[in-house]
Structures are given as structure tokens and as C-alpha cells.
Amino acid sequence: MPARLPHDVTRAHIIQAMDAIDRGQILVPPRRKPTKYVVKRGERTYPPKFLICKAHEFLDGTDWPNIFGGGPEANNFLIGLRFDVWDKSKNPPRKVGLFAEAEDDESAFPEGRRLYRFHRQLERDSKIAKLAKDARLAQVGEMLCDVCGFSFARKYGPVGVGFIEAHHTIPVSELRGRRKTKIEEIALVCSNCHRILHRRRPWLSVTELREMLDSTSG
């Protein structure tokens, strides 16, 4: 099961953890000191994974377990929060940019390969997907992403007409042993939003992802 970052941690939580380290309220154990990458703030540096774990204490009082990736995963998270990450193994040290994460469909799914395959089998069920898509066409006349409003037909022309992906809104762990799915449990989404819905654990809901998108585009 792939480990996950505490995505609810914000930039403010990271800064609180930095301040606590600077004041000596949080001590970095020798085994948690950075060996390659550091987060820089002024002249101070901080170990990326340790910083994220400790920042979670300022969210709900618990230290996040040190079980997620320490390279691209942690660095991309911090860069996304507008922090500077440096590679101290270089001479001289240099600031790094976003990393390309090697991640296929199965490794991106938080509940394991077997359950992922079961989930995708349900999502690709032609009958329930077609019923959901037919209902959408009857309602609005075209396929629009439930999250972002993207239209494959508008973007790609005829080749995109009628195309959209079907996403089960019920977690796969709750679907085990239940083969019948209600149309109301299917969301129709573009490929990008579909991947992001599965990016976190627990899954983002369509409403949560729509609100996140609105907040970043406002």
C-alpha cells in the first residue's frame, strides 16, 4: 500500500514547525537529519520529511508517521507550498524544481493493487457507465466533467464526442461483494480530475475537488 503525505498540512503549519525548530522546541534527531535535500528559509535549513511530519502536529496534535517518500514526493509537496528545496549534495548546493514522479495507475491507488483492479473493473463496466452517460446526455446534451466542466468534444472535436470517464464515488473497500452500482454513485469526470480524485487517502469527493479547484483559480 503506497504511503501518503498529510495533504491537509498547509504552508502555515510548515512555518509553525520551522519556528518551533528554530526556538529549540522541536529537536531534529540525528537519524532524521537531511542527507541530500533541505528546505531553506533564510540561512536556516530543515529536513523535508521531518518538517512535514512535525507540521502535522500543528494541524491536529499528532506527529505524522515517517512512511512517505522522501525524494520527489516530499519535495514536490513542499515546493507546491512555495518553499525552497535545495540539493545540498551538489557543489555548490543548488535549488531544485519540481520532480517528475514515476507512478502508474496501480501504485497511485491507495488501497492496493488487487482492490484497485476490482475498482477499475467496476468503473469500466460498460452497462453502468453507459447508463450514467446516457442519463447525462438526456439531461444536459453533452459530456462535461463534474469537477472542472471540461469537454472532450469542445477541446478535441469529433474524436472527443461522447467521451468522459466514469468514477465510482463509493470507496472500493465498501464495494467488495456488491456488484450492483447505482447510477447516482457514478461521477463523470475528465482524466485529470479522475486521477486527482484518487490522489489522496481518503479519496477526495467531487465536491471537495471542485472547491479546491475554485480556490486555486479564484
User: 33-47, 50-64, 113-127, 190-204: which has the minimum mean pLDDT?
Assistant: 113-127
pLDDT at 119: 53
CA dihedral angle for residue 10, residue 172, residue 121, residue 128, rounded to 10 degrees:
-100
Mean pLDDT of 195-203: 82
> Residue 117 pLDDT > 60, yes or no?
no
Question: Of all residues in the chain, what percent carry a pLDDT higher than 90?
Answer: 43
Q: How far is C-alpha 98 from the geometric centre of its chain's CA atoms? A: 15
Residue 151 has pLDDT above 70, yes or no: yes
Give mean pLDDT, residues 197-202.
80
Query: Whole-prediction pTM value?
Result: 0.59
pLDDT tens for 126-145 read: 577 788 888 888 888 888 99
- Cis amide bond preceding 72, omega within 30: no
> Is the pLDDT reported for residue 188 higher than 60?
yes
State residue 100 phi and psi, 5-degree precision: -85, 120
Average the pLDDT over each of 49-58, 80-89, 117-126, 137-146 and give the range with the smallest value. 117-126
Neighbours of 17 (CB within 10 A): 23
- 45-49, 72-76, 101-105: which has the minimum mean pLDDT? 101-105
Nearest to 180 by CA among 133, 146, 131: 131
Listing DSSP states for 117-157 in one string gives HHHHHHHT-HHHHHHHHHHHHHHHSS---TTT---HHHHHG
Average pLDDT across the chain, whole number: 82
Where residue 22 falls among pLDDT bands split at 50, 70, 90? very high
* N-terminal to C-terminal alpha carbon distance within the chain: 35
Length of the chain: 218
Name residue 45's beta-bridge partners: 40
Q: How many Cα atoms sit within 13 Å of 215 on the Cβ side? A: 6
Answer for the pair 85, 95: CB distance below 8 angstroms, yes or no: yes
For the stretch 9-21, pLDDT in tens is 999 999 999 999 9
Categorize the per-residue pLDDT at 2 as very low, low, confident or very high, splitting at 50, 70 and 90.
very low
For residue 109, pLDDT beyond 80: no
pLDDT band with cut points at 50, 70 and 90 for residue 68? confident
- What are the Cα distances from residue 95, in Å, to 10, 20, 84, 87? 21, 24, 7, 6
